[in-house]
């Protein structure tokens, strides 16, 4: 099974600039005004143009809101050096939501993109998650 990541954004060109600068991704394909495939990571990220205020689905009354929001699913980007990754992302328009934290398994930076989506940078230390695995 392959994994595809889709991220709704309200400004497609702003999203292309952000994800290109913050994560060193590049455009794979464009789908007209509907979306852009960003490549260069372990799986493609599809940026999908969806206007703020449009319904999420016919099954819910929720509408898209690009202010900071919480969802139980987020992306973790594994990096070699977390400080540089955080600095690049912040310069590109991300927010560092808490100071970088160090854990037995590695370092973690809680971030959000300019579209309100949370993500993290992870820098593994030692054996990574094996440091805490049973």
The tokens for 86 are 């955080």
Q: Model pTM?
A: 0.90
Q: What is the pLDDT of residue 22?
A: 97
**Strand arrangement of the beta sheet that strand 5-9 belongs to:** 5-9, 45-49, 35-39, 26-30
Asked if residues 88 and 45 have their Cβ atoms less than 8 Å apart, the reply is no
Per-residue pLDDT of the chain (134 residues; tens, 9 = 90+): 888 999 999 999 999 999 999 999 999 999 999 999 999 999 999 999 999 999 988 888 899 999 999 888 899 999 999 999 999 999 999 999 999 999 999 999 999 999 999 999 999 999 999 999 98
CA atoms of 34 and 48, how far apart (whole Å): 6
Q: Which residue has the tokens 């579209």?
A: 115
CA atoms of 102 and 36, how far apart (whole Å): 35
Taken in order of first residue, the domains within the chain and their CATH numbers are 1-53 (3.10.180.10), 67-134 (3.10.180.10)
Asked if residues 46 and 4 have their Cβ atoms less than 8 Å apart, the reply is yes
């Amino acid at each position: 099974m392959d994994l595809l990541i889709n991220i709704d954004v309200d400004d497609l060109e702003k999203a292309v600039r952000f994800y290109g600068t913050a994560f060193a991704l590049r455009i794979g394909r464009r789908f007209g005004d509907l979306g852009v495939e960003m490549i260069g990571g372990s799986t493609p990220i599809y940026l999908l143009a969806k206007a703020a205020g449009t319904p999420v689905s016919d099954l819910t009354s929720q509408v898209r809101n690009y202010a900071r929001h919480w969802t139980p699913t987020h992306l973790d980007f594994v990096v070699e050096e977390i400080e540089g990754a955080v600095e690049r992302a912040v310069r590109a328009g991300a927010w560092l939501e808490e100071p970088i934290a160090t854990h037995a398994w590695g370092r973690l930076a809680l971030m959000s993109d300019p579209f309100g989506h949370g993500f993290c940078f992870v820098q593994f230390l030692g054996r990574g998650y094996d440091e805490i695995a049973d």
